[in-house]
């Protein structure tokens, strides 16, 4: 087993950070949040000689899950996550995409929903599932303890937090998720988020205006 690596492909007009997590040596991995622009994602997979074992979804918003069914069919892999509380969001993606004028996005039906405390993995890289509601009721975070890394989706951003004005949003729940589940993992934990640059939990704990 080699080191855990991550590659980011910004997708959809929302510039969502579709992320390929993979093993540097074995070249196997997973795609997190293929929200759209599936041709771009498939090109990155083949240019980097990767074998994709599964699709992982952090939450049910269209920019995160709208391309999942197309990618699943192309690769023949399962869609894992988010928590089932996001089912209403996953089943409204096509309607929402039409409202935004984004072609090609589809409703998403996961093969398996996730819950707090479950574990997902590929090639020996183990990720704990943290249920972090607030931005979306079924939002999950994928935490790799060995690598000191978390994929936090739209829960936490560098210098900001997820918006909570969308259906199912709850600002107090979001701040609780961050303060009670993410920050206690440690200041040194590095994160990738759904939009913009990632960072480290310690920097957010000290200077993120929504948390201090």
Residues binding Zn ion (CB under 5 A): 61, 63, 154, 194
Nearest distance from C-beta of residue 51 to Zn ion, angstroms = 27
Any residues with CB less than 8 A from the CB of 103 and at least 6 apart, and which?
97
The least distance separating Zn ion from the CB of residue 171, rounded to whole angstroms, comes to 14
What tokens does 211 get?
A: 């948390």
Nearer of residues 63 and 70 to Zn ion, judged by Cβ: 63
Q: How far apart are CA 139 and CA 168, in angstroms?
A: 11
Give how far Cα 209 sits from Cα of 125, 156, 157, 162, Å.
33, 12, 11, 13
Residue 123 or 162: which CB sits closer to Zn ion?
162
Q: Which residues pair with 131 in a beta bridge?
A: 140
What kind and span of H or E run contains 8? strand 4-11
Task: Select 125 or 135, whichever has its Cβ closest to Zn ion.
Answer: 135
- Nearest approach, Cβ of 17 to Zn ion (angstroms)? 8
Q: Shortest CA distance to 147 belongs to which of 175, 116, 121?
A: 121
Least distance (Å) between residue 136 CB and Zn ion: 6
**Of 60 and 123, which has the nearer Cβ to Zn ion?**
60
């Amino acid at each position: 087993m080699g080191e855990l690596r991550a590659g980011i492909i910004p997708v959809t007009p929302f510039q969502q950070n579709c992320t390929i997590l993979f093993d540097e040596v074995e070249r196997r991995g997973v795609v997190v949040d293929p929200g759209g622009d599936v041709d771009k994602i498939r090109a990155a997979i083949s240019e980097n000689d990767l074998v994709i074992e599964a699709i992982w979804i952090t939450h049910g918003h269209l920019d995160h899950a709208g391309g999942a069914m197309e990618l699943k069919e192309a690769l023949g892999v399962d869609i894992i996550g988010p928590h089932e509380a996001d089912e209403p969001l996953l089943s409204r993606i096509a309607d929402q995409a039409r409202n935004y004028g984004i072609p090609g996005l589809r409703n998403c039906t996961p093969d398996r929903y996730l819950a707090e405390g479950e574990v997902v993995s590929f090639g020996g890289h183990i990720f704990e599932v943290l249920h972090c509601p607030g931005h979306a009721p079924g939002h999950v975070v994928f935490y790799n303890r060995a690598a000191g890394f978390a994929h936090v989706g739209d829960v936490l951003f560098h210098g900001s937090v997820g918006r909570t004005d969308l259906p199912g949003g709850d600002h107090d729940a979001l701040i609780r998720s961050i303060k009670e589940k993410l920050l206690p993992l440690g200041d040194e934990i590095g994160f990738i988020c759904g939009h913009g640059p990632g960072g480290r939990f310690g920097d957010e704990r000290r200077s993120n205006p929504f948390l201090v």
